[in-house]
Every structure is written in C-alpha cells, then in structure tokens.
Amino acid sequence: MTILFSALYLAASAVHLFFCFSQKYRRAQDFTKVLLMPLLLAAALFTGNCPLFTALALFFGWIGDILLLRPKQKPFFLGGLAAFLIGHICYIPVLAGAGSYSLVFSLPVGTVLLLLGAGAYATLHRHLPPEMRIPVVAYLLVILCMAFAAIHTQRPQAIVGAGAFVLSDYMLARGLFIQKGRYGDFLVMLTYLSAQFCLGLLFLY
C-alpha cells in the first residue's frame, strides 16, 4: 500500500505542478493541492514505522495547504503560517532523535545557518508589514532549527528535504511580500513537495 500511495502522491504532484506551470485551470490546481498531503500521509502510515510527529507534520502541512489557497486574505495567511510552523516543530524531534551532535560540528553548522537566516530576513525586512516582522522571525528560527537537526542526521534525504523546505518558504515569502515571479507557484510547490516527500516518507527508510 505504501508503494501505491507513493505512486499516487507522485502522480498527483506531477499533475499539480503542470497546472502551476501552465498558470491555467486554477480550480483544478486548488483541487489537486488538497489531495497531496493526505496521499503522502497514507503512504507514510502504511510503512508501519511512521512516528506520530511525522504524521502530525504532514497533517498540519495539509491544513496549511488548504489555508494558503487564499494567501492574500490575512486570516487565512496567518492560519497557514501557524499550521506550517507547527509542522516544522513536529519534524524537529524526529530529526533530532536521529542525529549525533558535537561542538566541533554543531557550532559551525549553527553559525552558517544563522548567517543564512539573517541574510534572508534582511532581504524581506523592509517589505514586511510591521505586525508581520516578529512572526516571520519566529518562523525563520523554527525552520532553521529544523534544518540544524536535519543536517545532524547526516542522511541525504533529511538534508535535501530541510534545504528544500527553507528554499520553498523563502520563495513563498518573497512572492507574498515583494513580487511573485512568473513561475513562482511552480517553484514553491516543486521544492515544497520534494521537501515533504523527503522528510515525510524517504526519511522513514
């Protein structure tokens, strides 16, 4: 069943990305989007070794996907932000439990991530509404913690997944607060779906 639901997830992802790239069929794009995380969650659960926090991360990813169907409406955007924030928090203990830590490795990794985070925030800061600055900083710190834990697993699927998540969220923020590129939705969803696949399923193996 895991193979079946994985195949369905990948097929639905390909269809959804096609709609994003074509920039047509908005209703079909929204419909396929809400199917994605339930399919991936089913694939993860049928492995028989899916941690509760991984299942919760995928569930809250689904909630975030639904709410961000209307990102220009503030309550939906804030709700989506909160849902994805919870999802990242849920991934942290799963990744942290699979990692090994030493000061020699952790200090430079943490320093590099903080510098990258500071640089990313600097490009967004003046474009953010004042009331969004603290929530964006909090979100950024959480996703950097998730990336920190992923790197310490030293497993490619975790590192690629966390990196794709960081990139996806940064592109989403630029699209919402600065300017969305022509293929902004496609690139955000490509990296997001890759991230969830790596962390929500591949990391279980």
- In Å, how far are 18, 112, 144, 163 from 23, measured between CA atoms? 8, 36, 31, 26
Which range (43-47, 77-81, 168-172) has the least confidence? Answer: 77-81
Q: What is the DSSP letter of 201?
A: T
CA distance 184 to 172: 8
Q: What is the pTM of this model?
A: 0.93
pLDDT tens digits, one per residue of 8-41:
999 999 999 999 999 888 888 999 999 999 999 9
pLDDT tens digits, one per residue of 103-123:
899 999 999 999 999 999 999
Which runs of consecutive H residues, i.e. helices, occur in the chain? Answer: 2-22, 26-45, 52-67, 74-96, 103-124, 133-153, 156-177, 184-200
What's residue 23's pLDDT?
84
Q: Can you read off the two tokens belonging to residue 148?
A: 């920190």
In the chain, % of residues over pLDDT 70: 100
Q: Tell whether the model's pLDDT for residue 77 goes beyond 90.
A: no
- Work out the pLDDT band at 205, boundaries 50, 70, 90: confident
Q: What single letter denotes the amino acid at residue 95? A: L
